[in-house]
Amino acid sequence: MNRKETIPEPIAQLQRQSEEFRRTRPRRAKLPDSLWDAAADLARQHGVYAVAQPLRLDYMGLKKRLGEAANRRPDKSKPVFVELIAPRQQHGRTA
C-alpha cells in the first residue's frame, strides 16, 4: 500500500491500538488475541494485505488466523438437502 493512499478508518483505529500496545510492551511481545481477531475481521472486509501492511502484522499469520476463524465458527449457510418429488404423470392424458 502506498503511504499516500488513505487507510480506511477502522484499520487506522486498529493501527493506533496496536502501536499503543507495542509502545507499552517489551519488543517482540505477542499481540493479544483480541487485536489479532479484530485484524482478521477487518481482513475479511478489506483483504489480508490491506490490513497486515499498515498494522505491521505477519501476512501469513493473519491469513492463517482467517482460516482458523472460519473453522471455529459454525457455517449457518450450509446447504440443506430437500427432496423434491415430481407429481406422477398419467399416461395417455394430456393437460
pLDDT, tens digit (0-9, with 9 covering 90-100), for 12-48: 999 999 999 988 988 888 888 999 999 999 999 999 9
CA distance 49 to 61: 11
For the entire predicted model, the pTM comes to 0.63
Of 23-27, 40-44, 56-60, 66-70, the poorest mean pLDDT is in 66-70
Phi and psi angles of residue 54, each rounded to the nearest 5 degrees, phi first: -70, -25
Q: Please list, in sequence order, all residues whose beta carbon lies within 8 angstroms of the beta carbon of residue 31, skipping any fewer than 6 positions away.
A: 18, 21, 57
Give residue for cell 418429488. 85
